A and B are shown apart, each in its own frame.
Chain A
Amino acid sequence: QKEVEQDPGPLSVPEGAIVSLNCTYSNSAFQYFMWYRQYSRKGPELLMYTYSSGNKEDGRFTAQVDKSSKYISLFIRDSQPSDSATYLCAIHSGGYQKVTFGTGTKLQVIP
């Protein structure tokens, strides 16, 4: 079983839709949860960073962590064409342990 599972998509939605991106993970030791956005031919950029369980909101983006289900989500409200990118979840158990990335979900927001 992979440490992090993420549906690769692609996911196509109309502009203005609410987008839900998800990952599941297997190791309950993970404490830090991140979402990165990667535009084509660019490096990943950090979008959201959450420690332990709960929700975190930043503008149109909301990250949710459910440690009991080992499930993390990223919601994008009022999606825009500029949100079209690959979204990678990443998890980490702290300290100098490696960060493990999901395979990424490719999102296309259609005007």
Chain B
Amino acid sequence: DTAVSQTPKYLVTQMGNDKSIKCEQNLGHDTMYWYKQDSKKFLKIMFSYNNKELIINETVPNRFSPKSPDKAHLNLHINSLELGDSAVYFCASRGLAGDTQYFGPGTRLTVL
């Protein structure tokens, strides 16, 4: 059973489109994250939710809107996609007891 899953795995789209990426974790964790990893492998946090509440919001354009319908899900909606949004987006979750994060397999977004 996959602990943290993301869909889709690959996303190719045109500039200006709106797209969503979904994330689900079955670990019972309270905290979930979205990270962006660029072509140089730098992993940068975008958002964090704890029990459906936004707790970290890094300097991210407001075209990116996270939504957490429940604590097992954290989705990322991106409006008006730009070329610079091309990257791999990782979802992660973290439990209460520890400070370790578990990552999903990533969604490779390509904006043409």
Contact = CB atoms under 8 A, between A and B. Distances in A.
Interface of A: 8, 32, 34, 36, 38, 41-46, 49, 86, 88, 90, 92, 94, 96, 98-101, 103-104, 106
A44 B103 contact: yes
Interface residues of B, number: 25
B105 A99 contact: no
Given A49-B99, A98-B56, A44 B31 contact: no
Contacts of A38: 41
Interface of B: 4, 31, 40-45, 48, 50, 55-56, 58, 90, 92, 98-106, 108
B20 to A, nearest CB: 19
A47 to B, nearest CB: 10
Contacts of B55: 96
Given A44-B90, A98-B58, A104 B41 contact: yes
Given A34-B100, A42-B106, A44-B103, A86 B41 contact: yes
B36 to A, nearest CB: 11
